[in-house]
């Protein structure tokens, strides 16, 4: 054997030894991680409840790779559809309002950051259940056309098991939508509506007539004409009743809300006259000007456009309760808004179920037929929502029932389609 061959053999042996050593090092590090995991698992398994949970997860994993795949597809399609439709809506909205923007000399910075930046979350959340519906139909039809669902069902997956990742995704979207709509978006709506009132819709009702409300237990206020610009009411009266008997009657020529005061509900009363009834006797006092605390404020006297959209859920609930206590009957718009926010959470689950049942099977018309049915049902849902809300506001229909009618109708549709789908 030549010297060259001997050197070659030595190099090969050295290389083999190095590879073997590195392999052992890698194995040892992986073994360390594995042992660490096993140690944590053994420690947790000493707890009775945790042991049962681990044993269950080993046999029935909570989320499989297939579940994560469907969830990723669902949420990804949902976000993509929102971005696509919002982009189209913004283009059309800008083309429609560009003349008003230019004539009112609205700054471009406010148009982008004040109006459209607050418009996007409002619009996205308003039609969130429908975006869910369209997303489910789109990607499920695509999976059905690619025979992915057939492969899942042929491996023994039931329809109820297939629904699990869909319902989890719908739950995540519904919770996020509720939090945004109930607590975050109302604050951004204030900024957006102020911009609209200033630059787009300048005509705003600021004067109301014949306002009557109960400001306290047995205390009823009446204002003949109220001007919100000056915060002034004309021909004011305040009646106090005890056991349904009139004990005090105040009249005033003019009343004005004190906007500079640190005290809430402070009013200045001008040219007043007070009659106090004590049995058969009557005490009359009068004066030119006085300060008084009356449990009402300008927001209680005048409804501003889309006021219900600027209130959070606690604010809506308090406002409705307050108006009911005062004997006001014109709160149906606020009640519809309150119940609609709750109903939209359940709408995500109902529309998801309908979407899956419609698109999980391979049809002759392909994806186009499923999408067509989905769009038709989406528009019908919006139609039912609009009609029921109109009946509640204008025809005295129960607000709670009007908010839930679209869900009830579509729940029946979902149940019929679910029963017809092979399990």
Is 319 in the same domain as 285?
A: no
Closest CA to 189 of 299, 112, 115: 115
What pLDDT digit, counting tens, does each position of 345-397 carry?
Answer: 888 899 899 888 888 877 666 667 777 777 788 778 888 888 888 887 777 78
Residues 214 and 325 sit within 8 Å (Cβ to Cβ):
yes
| Domain edge (last residue) among 265, 297, 329 | 297
Is 83 in the same domain as 147?
A: yes
Is 320 in the same domain as 192?
A: yes
Is 167 in the same domain as 46?
A: no
pLDDT of residue 27: 44
pLDDT of residue 252: 93
Distance CA 128, CA 294 (A): 42
- With bands split at pLDDT 50, 70 and 90, how would you rate the model's confidence at 215? confident
What pLDDT digit, counting tens, does each position of 228-275 carry?
Answer: 888 899 999 999 988 878 889 999 999 999 888 888 888 999 999 999
**What pTM was estimated for this model as a whole?**
0.70
Number of domains in the chain: 3
More confidently predicted of 161 and 31: 161
Range 330-346 average pLDDT:
86
Is 144 in the same domain as 77?
A: yes
Q: How many residues belong to the chain? A: 423
**List of residues 6+ apart from 310 with CB closer than 8 A:** 186, 187, 189, 190, 193
Distance CA 176, CA 345 (A): 9
Is 356 in the same domain as 320?
A: yes
Is 329 in the same domain as 186?
A: yes
| Domain edge (last residue) among 240, 262, 297 | 297
Is 323 in the same domain as 338?
A: yes
| Domain edge (last residue) among 43, 59, 75 | 59
Could you tell me the residue range of the domain that residue 338 belongs to? 62-204+304-423
**List of residues 6+ apart from 33 with CB closer than 8 A:** none
Residue 5 has pLDDT above 50, yes or no: yes
What pLDDT digit, counting tens, does each position of 295-304 carry?
Answer: 888 877 776 7
Is 81 in the same domain as 146?
A: yes
What pLDDT digit, counting tens, does each position of 58-113 carry?
Answer: 555 567 888 888 888 899 889 998 998 899 999 998 998 888 888 888 888 898 88
């Amino acid at each position: 054997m030549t010297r060259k061959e001997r050197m070659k053999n030595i190099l090969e042996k050295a290389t083999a030894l190095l590879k073997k050593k590195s392999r052992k090092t890698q194995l040892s590090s992986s073994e360390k991680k594995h042992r660490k995991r096993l140690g944590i698992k053994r420690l947790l398994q000493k707890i009775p409840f945790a042991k049962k949970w681990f044993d269950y997860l080993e046999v029935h994993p909570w989320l499989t790779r297939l579940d994560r795949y469907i969830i990723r597809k669902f949420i990804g399609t949902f976000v993509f559809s929102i971005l696509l439709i919002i982009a189209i809506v913004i283009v059309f909205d800008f083309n429609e309002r560009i003349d008003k923007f230019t004539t009112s000399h609205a700054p471009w910075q406010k148009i982008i950051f004040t109006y459209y930046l607050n418009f996007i979350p409002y619009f996205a959340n308003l039609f969130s259940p429908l975006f869910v519906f369209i997303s489910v139909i789109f990607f499920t039809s695509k999976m059905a056309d690619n025979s992915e669902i057939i492969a899942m069902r042929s491996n023994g997956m039931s329809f109820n098991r297939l629904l699990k990742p869909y319902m989890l995704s719908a739950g995540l979207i519904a919770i996020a939508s509720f939090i945004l709509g109930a607590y975050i978006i109302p604050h951004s709506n204030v900024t957006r509506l102020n911009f609209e009132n200033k630059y787009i819709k300048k005509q705003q009702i600021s004067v109301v007539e014949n306002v009557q409300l109960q400001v306290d237990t047995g205390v009823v206020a009446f204002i003949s004409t109220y001007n919100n610009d000056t915060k002034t009411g004309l021909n004011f009266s305040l009646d106090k009743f005890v056991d349904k008997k009139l004990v005090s009657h105040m009249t005033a020529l003019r009343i004005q809300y004190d906007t500079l005061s640190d005290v809430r509900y402070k009013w200045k009363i001008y040219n007043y006259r007070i009659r106090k009834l004590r049995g058969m006797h009557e005490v009359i006092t009068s004066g030119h000007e006085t300060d008084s605390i009356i449990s009402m404020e300008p927001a209680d006297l005048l409804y501003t456009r889309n006021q219900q959209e600027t209130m959070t859920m606690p604010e809506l609930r308090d406002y409705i309760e307050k108006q009911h206590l005062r004997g006001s009957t014109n709160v149906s718009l606020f009640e519809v808004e309150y119940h609609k926010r709750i109903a939209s959470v359940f709408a995500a689950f109902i529309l998801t179920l309908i979407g899956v049942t419609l698109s999980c099977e391979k049809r002759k018309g392909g994806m186009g037929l499923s999408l067509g049915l989905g769009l038709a049902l989406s528009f019908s849902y919006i139609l039912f929502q609009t009609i029921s809300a109109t009946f509640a506001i204008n025809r005295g229909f129960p607000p709670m029932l009007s908010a839930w009618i679209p869900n009830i109708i579509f729940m029946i549709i979902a149940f019929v389609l679910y029963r017809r789908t092979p399990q």
